[in-house]
Amino acid sequence: MKYFHILLAPLLLLWGCQPSQKTAGPSIKVLLIEGQNNHRNWPETSPLMKSTLEKTGRFEVTITRTPPSDGRKQDFSASQPLIADMPEDLQQQWATWRPDFTPYDVVISNYNGVFWPEEVQLDFVEFVNNGGGFVPIHAANNAFTNWEEYQKIIGVGGWYGRWTEKHGSKIIWQDGKMVLDNSPGKCGAHGKRQPVYIDNRNQDHPIIKGFPSTWKHPTDEIYYNMCGPAKGINVVASAYSDPDTGGSGKNQPIVITLNYGQGRVFHNMLGHTTEAFTGAGFQHLLVRGTEWAATGKVTFPEPDTADFSTSTIVTKEPGA
């Protein structure tokens, strides 16, 4: 038994030094916003993100839930409804939803629905402008079409009455760099949902450092024709949008970062299916990207490349 302790003590010391273990630095405080989304699996995907982050021991995730929608049919050709368009009982509920962003290091949005109250919009912009991190997930970039500052924060978005002529350039990955596409038309499209390969486009970025240069991701949607102010975007990863299954035939930026004021934005367009949230690449991205948005650094060790070998793939085009 004595022998056991002699062996175990140095091992425990070593274990405690690993940045991914529960003894790593102070908690990063995360506020996750949910409550409405045209992706009805949000009650499953929010807890998945919370547990993915919290099991690292580095994050403390609080979920705030907005009032529900009034059940109206989604209108992809018009900006999202206002609280004033809601029935009286929901307006009363909205009057009480006032999240305080100030205690948090980073906000994750799993939300796409009715416009937040103006007071919350102003608080949110101030939070990011003053150095708070922001992580929009998938259809969070469909939200708030005509809220100008939100569009600057996310860089690009899609659907709900967005047009290149009015809302800004589309982005694609071409000849080794991001290219703006100002061709007129509606913004927001995707091909058939299927397993995909993701191509790293900035191997030195701390969020993706140590990932295989190309990695498998479970069944998901690859957004294309995403448009917006598109200022200061750094493409971290792209995916080939397969024209045989309704895609653009181009490499689409799918994980991007940008800054707004003092704030950092980690914008992850992946995340349609619940399965997508279980992918190794998605989970490593979420953990590393959320830490980066919160602190500007990634302290987690580079991921084990064996993690990335589990998702099945049906299509692959070499990256441009």
- Name which of 267 and 272 has its Cβ closer to Zn ion: 272
> Is there a contact between 181 and 172 (Cβ–Cβ < 8 Å)?
yes
Least Å distance, CB 282 to Zn ion, is 14
Segment near Zn ion (CB under 5 A), from 152-160, 194-202, 214-222, 256-264? 214-222
Segment near Zn ion (CB under 5 A), from 54-62, 168-176, 272-280, 283-291? 272-280
Least Å distance, CB 271 to Zn ion, is 8
Interface with Zn ion (CB under 5 A), residue from 34, 220, 221, 291? 221
CA dihedral angle for residue 40, residue 281, residue 26, residue 264, rounded to 10 degrees: -80
- Name which of 132 and 158 has its Cβ closer to Zn ion: 158
- Name which of 221 and 242 has its Cβ closer to Zn ion: 221
- Name which of 158 and 263 has its Cβ closer to Zn ion: 158
Least Å distance, CB 221 to Zn ion, is 5
- CB count, 10 Å around CB of 282? 25
Is 217 an interacting residue with respect to Zn ion (CB under 5 A)?
no
Segment near Zn ion (CB under 5 A), from 45-53, 166-174, 205-213, 220-228? 220-228
Q: Which residue in 139, 136, 117 sits closest to 128, CA to CA?
A: 136
Residue with tokens 């071409």: 174
Least Å distance, CB 267 to Zn ion, is 15
Q: Which residue of this chain has its Cβ atom nearest to Zn ion in the complex?
A: 272
- Name which of 216 and 272 has its Cβ closer to Zn ion: 272
Q: Which residue in 288, 280, 282 sits closest to 310, CA to CA?
A: 280
Interface with Zn ion (CB under 5 A), residue from 162, 217, 272, 288? 272
Applying CB under 5 A, what is the total number of residues that bind Zn ion? 2
Binding interface with Zn ion (CB under 5 A): 221, 272
